[in-house]
Structure 1
Amino acid sequence: MSLDDDYLRYAWRRHGYDHDWYEWSMLHERPAVRWPENKPLALWLNVSVQFFPLNQRNIPFKVPNGMTMPYPDLRHFSLREYGNRVGIYRVLKALDHYGVTPTFAVNTQVAERMPYLRDALVERGDEILCHGWNMDHQHYGGQDRDEEAELVKRAVGGLRDLTGRDIRGWLSPARVHSPNTPGLLVENGIQWFGDWVNDDMPYPFRTDKGVLHAIPLSTELEDQFILCNNLHSEASWAEQIADACDFLLAEARQQGGRLLALNIHPWLMGQPHRIGYLEQVLAHVMGSGQVWSASASDILARCQASQE
């Protein structure tokens, strides 16, 4: 059976990608990035501070890591709340002990509902990015553009008002978004987002409203992905991150700076039986003396300056 002629005349058939979101390029062929103090590896440690509603809408699909039992699923609701009441303080203590600069991905409804936590994060002075309104308000293909525009505006504007901070970054709930989302982010003054995980370094991302930047936040090394999706042990999680760190360090020495992007959740890593594994990871990563720990926006700015 032969292919239809229309297949061979596909308008986007060319070397590289079949879209215009960003340029085709191979990582090892790009200009080398240099981090401060000539350190080969940058660390973006992202702490996801989330609110999962008890009465989920689950539109357009069931919320990842959300409620799983019949309403009211107090078991899972209270476990998620544990992270914002108890676990996050253990995480903060560990990060400070090892000299790690975190970035906080905050649902706007967390800042609205939990002023004690919002104020504690603001007082630290670390970067805060918008993680959407809450984990049950997803952005998706087929969503009405005006509806999504209102949601982005409410989430980003609300977080700016509640924190008094210049919110420059975005991470979509469940890391899903519609074709309209990137442009809406630009319209609301967002400079970068972490949804796409197709690289080890930041890169420019085109939208119909201007240039956005993508800073890939690894899914493969995320605590919930390894522990909850892959059902690996905490020891395996720590080993995988150590392996990634060592490999990226070696690659960076040969090809230029690399980025280790780690996403953690206080309701997982802030548990008393897991916090020791987070400390083990931080000790390994920061113990080399070759890692620059910085906010996501500072990493992007340095990457851009290095390539000018």
Structure 2
Amino acid sequence: MSLPPAYLEYDKRGYGQDIGRYDWRLAKDRAPVRLKNARQVAAMIVIPCEYHPIDPHKTPFGHPHGMVTPFPDLRHFTARDYGNRVGVLRLLDALKSAGLKATFPVSAALLTRARPLAEAIVGDGHELAAAGLHGDAIHHAGLSESEERAMIEDVREAFDAAGFHPTTWLSPARQESFATPDLLAEAGFTALLDWESDGVPLPLRTRGRPITALPLLNELDDFKLLVERKQTEDLWTDQILEAKDYLKTEHDRHGAQVLGFTLTPFVAGQPFRMRSLVNMLAEFAGDEAVWCARADEIVKAF
């Protein structure tokens, strides 16, 4: 049976890719960026502090970090709560000891539940970013634009009411609708952590001003490697350090690039993982070719 002619018709199809947010190009055709601080790699550590409701609707799907078993899933709910009350403090201490800065996307629902956490993040000089309303408030194409705009406005209002004004956004489950970048730019966000299209910050076209996508590598995510793939802690940190060293070898050819990876508080903040994590952070701190910076700082530098 042959396919109908309409099957091959797609009005967004274009040269190299089927998306219009940015121009298609190969890495070899990209003008190399030489950072003013002469560093070869910009390391972006992202620590999402998300609130996951115990009774998620899971529309259109459940967040990978959310509840797993039927209601009330107290085991997974309390594990996530442990991350935001205990594990994240270990990560803050480890960063302070290494002298490194990170970006902390926080759910709006945590601002009233864990105000001291937000204050500790800002107090240590880290970037407080927005991680949507909570882990069950997924952005997707099934929402009307007015519904999604209202969700983003609720997030902005919650942060404003708490006295914080983030410019960087991480969507719950890193899921978007076709309109999400437009609506985020409209709401005043200037950086986005959902995409990983390039090795450098990439300005995305929107209906208004651009919003910059920074590469956050899903393949180095601690939840994916330690929980889903069941790798050892040392292998996980070795992979991150290997990525750092490899990007340095590409500097002469491709210029400075961004190494973005995630530390999830209920995963990386476990006591039996701290030795490997502390050793990895020490390697970053001691590498003069590497600049560990906040997402907002990286956008400005590039």
* Same-fold call, TM cutoff 0.5: yes
Distance 2:50 2:14 in 1: 41
The letter of the residue matching 1:143 is: L
- Listed as ranges, the matches of 1:23-172 within 5 Å are 23-162=23-162, 164-172=163-171
Contact 1:156 1:188 in 2 (8 A): yes
Q: CA RMSD in A?
A: 1.8
Distance 1:9 1:123 in 2: 53
Q: Among all aligned residue pairs of Structure 1 and Structure 2, give the percentage whose two residues are the same amino acid.
A: 35
The 3 A distance-change label for structure 1 pair 150 and 3 is closer
2:259 corresponds in structure 1 to 260
Distance 1:30 1:124 in 2: 35
Distance 1:180 1:291 in 2: 35
- Structure 2: state its 5+ residue gaps: none
The letter of the residue matching 2:175 is: V
- Partner SS, residue 207 of structure 1: coil
| Higher mean C-alpha deviation, range 24-33 or range 177-186 | 24-33
The letter of the residue matching 2:247 is: L
- The reply to whether residue 224 of structure 1 matches residue 244 of structure 2 is no
The 3 A distance-change label for structure 1 pair 138 and 9 is closer
2:209 corresponds in structure 1 to 210
| Higher mean C-alpha deviation, range 44-53 or range 121-130 | 121-130
Shift of residue 284, structure 1, vs aligned partner: 2.1
The letter of the residue matching 2:60 is: P
Contact 1:66 1:76 in 2 (8 A): yes
Shift of residue 45, structure 1, vs aligned partner: 0.9
The 3 A distance-change label for structure 1 pair 145 and 12 is closer
Task: Give the TM-score normalised by the residue count of structure 1.
Answer: 0.92
Shift of residue 230, structure 1, vs aligned partner: 2.0
Shift of residue 262, structure 1, vs aligned partner: 1.4
The 3 A distance-change label for structure 1 pair 60 and 10 is closer
- The CA deviation string for residues 270-301 of structure 1, in whole angstroms up to 9 with x for no partner, is 11101111112112222222111111011111
Distance 1:188 1:255 in 2: 33
- Partner SS, residue 213 of structure 1: strand
1:250 corresponds in structure 2 to 249
Shift of residue 268, structure 1, vs aligned partner: 0.9
Shift of residue 11, structure 1, vs aligned partner: 4.7
Distance 2:293 2:19 in 1: 32
Distance 1:124 1:275 in 2: 19
The 3 A distance-change label for structure 1 pair 6 and 78 is closer
The 3 A distance-change label for structure 1 pair 160 and 217 is farther
1:178 corresponds in structure 2 to 177
Contact 2:284 2:292 in 1 (8 A): no
- Partner SS, residue 72 of structure 2: coil
The 3 A distance-change label for structure 1 pair 3 and 153 is same
Contact 1:204 1:214 in 2 (8 A): yes
Contact 2:215 2:259 in 1 (8 A): no
The 3 A distance-change label for structure 1 pair 9 and 266 is closer
- The CA deviation string for residues 159-209 of structure 1, in whole angstroms up to 9 with x for no partner, is 1321x2331110000000111211110111011111012221111101223
The letter of the residue matching 1:198 is: S
- Structure 1: state its 5+ residue gaps: 304-308
The letter of the residue matching 2:147 is: E
Shift of residue 2, structure 1, vs aligned partner: 7.7
Distance 1:18 1:114 in 2: 41
- Partner SS, residue 43 of structure 1: strand
- The reply to whether residue 233 of structure 1 matches residue 232 of structure 2 is yes
